[in-house]
Amino acid sequence: MYLSKCIRFCLQQTARTVSKESPLWKRYSTAAVQPKIDTSFVGALKTIVGDANVSTADAIREQHGHDESHHAVAMPDVVVFAESVDHVSKVSKLCNDTKVPLIPFGSGTGLEGGVNALQGGVCLDVTKMDQIVQVNAEDFDCTVQPGVMRLGLNNYLRDTGLWFPIDPGADASVCGMCATSASGTNAVKYGTMRENVLNLQVVLPDGRVIDTAGRGRRTKKTSAGYNLTNLFLGSEGTLGTITEATVRLYGIPEKTISAVCHFNEVSEAVDTVVQILQCGIPMAKLEFLDDSAIDCFNRFCKYDMTVAHSLFLEFHGPAYGLEDQFQSVKELIEMNNGFGLKQASDADERNRLWKARHEMVWACTARIPGSKPYSTDVCVPITNLPEIITKTKQMVVEADVIGPMVGHVGDGNFHIFFPCDHSDTETFKKIKDISHKMAVMAMELNGTCTGEHGIGIGKRDLLVAEVGEETLGAMKQIKETFDPNNIMNPGKVFF
Amino acid sequence: MYLSKCIRFCLQQTARTVSKESPLWKRYSTAAVQPKIDTSFVGALKTIVGDANVSTADAIREQHGHDESHHAVAMPDVVVFAESVDHVSKVSKLCNDTKVPLIPFGSGTGLEGGVNALQGGVCLDVTKMDQIVQVNAEDFDCTVQPGVMRLGLNNYLRDTGLWFPIDPGADASVCGMCATSASGTNAVKYGTMRENVLNLQVVLPDGRVIDTAGRGRRTKKTSAGYNLTNLFLGSEGTLGTITEATVRLYGIPEKTISAVCHFNEVSEAVDTVVQILQCGIPMAKLEFLDDSAIDCFNRFCKYDMTVAHSLFLEFHGPAYGLEDQFQSVKELIEMNNGFGLKQASDADERNRLWKARHEMVWACTARIPGSKPYSTDVCVPITNLPEIITKTKQMVVEADVIGPMVGHVGDGNFHIFFPCDHSDTETFKKIKDISHKMAVMAMELNGTCTGEHGIGIGKRDLLVAEVGEETLGAMKQIKETFDPNNIMNPGKVFF
């Protein structure tokens, strides 16, 4: 109750209602940067990275002015393609000296408008830096540049018997996944980016290049000084540009069992999840898709999966023991009236199953042509999952909007991917309202408004409500320390 | 080679040689605080916490002027016992306003001189705040105050079927373990504190109280704003005082197998470890004790363990599969000429086995009456373990000092616990020399000078060498932001 009051109070106080005259605005907002993008500035950029690596073409700027979310395109004034850390360092210094906004750009697969250039400025595309710097197969680690994508890395690693398991669905860049502290379907077993990064090379706004754990460090643990690695993880490009990441790898599991089952009631599916976790069964994936999500997928991919609330399950491990784990889960499913349990017998069938999960964002938006995904991303302690999922489902049904629900319920995290068309203002209002209520409900249930997508543009007010004014103040102190001119991705995370 | 040159250069440049006039000193050192501890200041403390909670008695100050390491006692001017967050906040504010050093004090079980009051000031003992605030058994988490010890928490949890597995050996306070980013024998399976803390309540030097993830947050993951939790984890009391921690719990394993085996050669034992890890066998504990360590333990506890390089192993899990894991490990041990593999059949035998490991610090110092432990704490990627362990062992033998080696080799982390008597200057010099060479060697092998004990007093020069000047500069920026008056545990981590 206390929590609830606090959250509601904070939300009332924050940006939804405050004017620029309010002391709250002054406390949390950072004054808008006045870009000075003229011919001489563009010339200076060209001197650093070469003519071919600078573009002011509309098409290129448009392409770099948005991610995969519904947020309106906000184009940078100029796009720069960096080919080296030295490029990144010099461009950063130039922007800092001239107080021009700088927005690092990787794969552009974010879902919170993290790359939209709200105040114009320079978009720094780092995808040309695409080398896998080293793979230490016997130590289970590798180092990659920011243009290396998750799937590309895993293709490269195949012969080593290793893989990088963090899987947010999209083929994001590994360094971009660092920037948003991504996770995804395998986090139940392998953790999120937070647990899997050993070192980051970061270019600070003033051009300094640091290695968060020290150059070349790649130990599983360390107590040497402040944990800068985890500070830059999830900082959404607001503190610096990540130019290299050393991440943990894992052995490809000896055996994998994938399965799907269905439920008539949402609560039965969620109760099953809670019980599986409480029994300590070491799942690799534990995903929920409601009937609406399955329906979207069937339409999108011309499949014929049973349209019902479903759990997608996966077990990784040595061959011994895995079948026993599966049997234990089977018992729990039956106890909760689950039906149609079907095991994927080979890799093809398994891939088909997970395709349904991974294409969900596009399957959802395909329901309304021209729409973009408006994604919610709440996460709660697992015992609070049944309540929030049931209430959310009810809100979606009552509002009569298309709102398929999918979730990494093994982590207490789930999404609704609303297909969103801004021109349909009535539906947009309904979506926004449900999204806001979900976030408030999550916070009241000891949860968070963002389990893995980040704050970006749309959740800045929720962040204040979630962490409180004092904690937000401490975060802002860090921002101001490293980026006193507020050039790094201005308008993200904080107002 | 490049790495090695950098490290050697940095070490030449840092505190071992620099004078106060050097620009390096100015860059990294923070001017010594001039404490103003007089009757009126002590009176102000008494007004905050009550007369009975303030002591200037020599015995109390001496007790609070050291941890369990060899570092010389440095007494605070006054010891304050806080009973609430409000006490901590007000005392912090008073110290900050008057620029008096403030040193948070938990169980005092550190090994790097983290609590020694180098510049006097106030020692803030938080052990009276000893409540287990809440246990959410079904969500696998709990929240504790800073006086709650690891063993006390586990006793309290016993009936729930849960436990807090992070085990640094000593009965440290959970919040103290947060402050040093501790780990220990179970980290191979359960990770370190870094992976197991969901939220920290921290009192900043100016008295502000923050919850790093927001009050009441206890989700398994979040992407909401900067990761302050991991910033304060391992900050060794230099950024604020931890007054509450929400940590993850785990189900007590259905089955546990413990075992010990022996080797004639160090390299055989270490090769076994590397192979076990590379096979991906999910060990819970994987500890190495050399012949000298076993000898110390036999003398200390009047036991008769085989005096040879030994591996202590433990497997946790559901009953199914565990025996297979054990058999796989057995094969690897035999392949590497291991002998005397003995499985602990029940809890008593298991406890006896681990007693040997946990009492090692005291078993070592018992070899030289009146000595204190001088602990090394290097950590390297696992493929570099054989080289560093072999060379270290050689150095100890050549120097002809007592230097038992024990290690969490499953993490690439190991220690030598030298019994250290400062009055024996010749031996002390030898110990210091080996310790320094180990750290440099670890860094050259992509490792760290401290896997889990922290920087404290003794490794400040090594920190510069390890992370480099630019990264250290970034750490110092954070220190200066939160603690501009340098009152928090001055002289630790940084010069």
A/B interface, count of CB pairs below 8 Å: 295
Q: Was domain B132-251 assigned CATH 3.30.465.10?
A: yes
Rounded to 10 degrees, what is the CA torsion of A457, A461, A466, A467?
A: 90
Residues of B in contact with A180 (CB under 8 A): 223
- Which of A352-361, B74-83, B383-392 shows the lowest per-residue confidence on average (mean pLDDT)? A352-361
Q: How confident is the model at residue B280 (pLDDT cuts 50, 70, 90)?
A: confident
Strand order in the sheet with A197-203: A132-136, A141-144, A241-248, A197-203, A209-211
Mean pLDDT of the region A56-66: 97
Specify the pLDDT at position B2.
Answer: 43
Q: Is residue B7 pLDDT above 60, yes or no?
A: no
Residues of A in contact with B458 (CB under 8 A): none
Structure tokens at B418: 């030298």
- Mean pLDDT, chain A, rounded, equals 91
Q: Is residue A286 pLDDT above 60, yes or no?
A: yes
Q: Which residue of B has its CA nearest to A466?
A: B214
pLDDT digits (tens, 9 = 90+) for B144-190: 999 999 999 999 999 998 999 999 989 999 999 999 999 989 999 99
Distance from CA of B298 to the nearest CA of A (A): 31
Specify the pLDDT at position B302.
Answer: 87
Which of B226, B235, B331, B479 to mutate to test binding with chain A, by most A CBs within 10 Å of its CB?
A: B226
Angle between helices B266-278 and B385-399 (to 10 degrees): 160
**Cα–Cα distance, A385 to A378 (Å, whole number):** 10
pLDDT digits (tens, 9 = 90+) for B472-487: 999 999 999 999 999 9
Q: Is residue A349 pLDDT above 70, yes or no?
A: yes
Residues of B in contact with A380 (CB under 8 A): 219
Q: Is residue B327 pLDDT above 90, yes or no?
A: yes
Q: Is residue B27 pLDDT above 80, yes or no?
A: no
> What architecture is domain A33-127?
2-Layer Sandwich (3.30)
**Are the Cβ atoms of B209 and A470 closer than 8 angstroms?**
yes
Residues of B in contact with A325 (CB under 8 A): 318, 320
**Cα–Cα distance, A464 to A454 (Å, whole number):** 14
Q: Is residue A93 pLDDT above 90, yes or no?
A: yes
Within chain A, which residue ranges are assigned CATH 3.40.462.10?
255-444
Distance from CA of A191 to the nearest CA of B (A): 9
Q: How confident is the model at residue A357 (pLDDT cuts 50, 70, 90)?
A: confident
pLDDT > 90: percent of chain B: 78
Specify the pLDDT at position A8.
Answer: 56
- Which residues lie below 8 Å from residue B130, measured CB to CB, with a gap of 6+? B145, B147, B148, B152
Which of A226, A250, A378 to mutate to test binding with chain B, by most B CBs within 10 Å of its CB?
A: A226
- Which of A188-192, B169-173, B314-318 shows the lowest per-residue confidence on average (mean pLDDT)? B314-318
- Which residues lie below 8 Å from residue A357, measured CB to CB, with a gap of 6+? A169, A185, A287, A289, A312, A406
- A363 backbone dihedrals φ, ψ, rounded to 5°: -60, -35
- Which residues lie below 8 Å from residue A295, measured CB to CB, with a gap of 6+? A307, A404
- Closest partner CB to A225 (pick from B213, B225, B493): B493
Residues of B in contact with A231 (CB under 8 A): 226-227, 230-231, 478
- Which residues lie below 8 Å from residue B363, measured CB to CB, with a gap of 6+? B293, B296, B297, B299, B300, B301, B404
Specify the pLDDT at position B15.
Answer: 39
**Are the Cβ atoms of B447 and A325 closer than 8 angstroms?**
no
**Are the Cβ atoms of B382 and A139 closer than 8 angstroms?**
yes
Which of A1, A134, A218, A221 to mutate to test binding with chain B, by most B CBs within 10 Å of its CB?
A: A221
Specify the pLDDT at position A220.
Answer: 93
Mean pLDDT of the region A455-481: 97
Specify the pLDDT at position A322.
Answer: 87
Residues of A in contact with B493 (CB under 8 A): 225-226
Mean pLDDT of the region A412-417: 95
Q: Which residue of A has its CA nearest to B216?
A: A446
Specify the pLDDT at position B163.
Answer: 96
* Coil/strand/helix, residue B236: coil
**Are the Cβ atoms of B212 and A471 closer than 8 angstroms?**
yes
Q: How confident is the model at residue B301 (pLDDT cuts 50, 70, 90)?
A: confident
Q: Is residue B24 pLDDT above 90, yes or no?
A: no
Q: Is residue B109 pLDDT above 90, yes or no?
A: yes
Structure tokens at A363: 């399957």
At the topology level, CATH places domain B39-125 in: 3.30.43
pLDDT digits (tens, 9 = 90+) for B347-365: 888 888 888 788 888 899 9
pLDDT digits (tens, 9 = 90+) for B432-458: 999 999 999 999 999 999 999 999 999
Mean pLDDT of the region B13-31: 43
Q: Is residue B281 pLDDT above 90, yes or no?
A: no
CB B492 within 8 A of CB B29: no
Residues of A in contact with B204 (CB under 8 A): 474
Q: Quickly list H helices, A411-468.
A: 425-444, 460-467
pLDDT > 70: percent of chain B: 93
Q: Which residue of A has its CA nearest to B383?
A: A139
Distance from CA of B254 to the nearest CA of A (A): 10
Q: Is residue A109 pLDDT above 90, yes or no?
A: yes
Q: Is residue A338 pLDDT above 60, yes or no?
A: yes
Beta bridge partners of A255: A317
- Closest partner CB to A467 (pick from B3, B214, B231): B214
- Mean pLDDT, chain B, rounded, equals 91
Rounded to 10 degrees, what is the CA torsion of A218, A223, A228, A229?
A: 30
Within chain A, which residue ranges are assigned CATH 3.30.465.10?
132-251
**Cα–Cα distance, A169 to A452 (Å, whole number):** 12
- Separate counts of helices (H) and strands (E) for chain A: 18, 19
Rounded to 10 degrees, what is the CA torsion of B171, B174, B179, B181?
A: 80
- Which of A478-487, B114-123, B344-353 shows the lowest per-residue confidence on average (mean pLDDT)? B344-353
Q: Is residue A386 pLDDT above 80, yes or no?
A: yes
Q: Is residue B36 pLDDT above 80, yes or no?
A: no
Which of A198, A222, A441 to mutate to test binding with chain B, by most B CBs within 10 Å of its CB?
A: A222
**Are the Cβ atoms of A379 and B220 closer than 8 angstroms?**
yes
Distance from CA of B255 to the nearest CA of A (A): 13
- Closest partner CB to B218 (pick from A280, A281, A446): A446
Q: Which residue of A has its CA nearest to B452?
A: A223
**Cα–Cα distance, A353 to A53 (Å, whole number):** 41
Specify the pLDDT at position B291.
Answer: 94
DSSP state of B149: B
**Cα–Cα distance, A282 to B406 (Å, whole number):** 31
Distance from CA of B279 to the nearest CA of A (A): 8
Residues of B in contact with A211 (CB under 8 A): 467-468, 471
Residue type, B214: G
> What architecture is domain B255-444?
3-Layer(aba) Sandwich (3.40)
Q: Which residue of B has its CA nearest to A213?
A: B467
Mean pLDDT of the region A295-317: 92
**Are the Cβ atoms of B214 and A251 closer than 8 angstroms?**
no
Specify the pLDDT at position A358.
Answer: 83
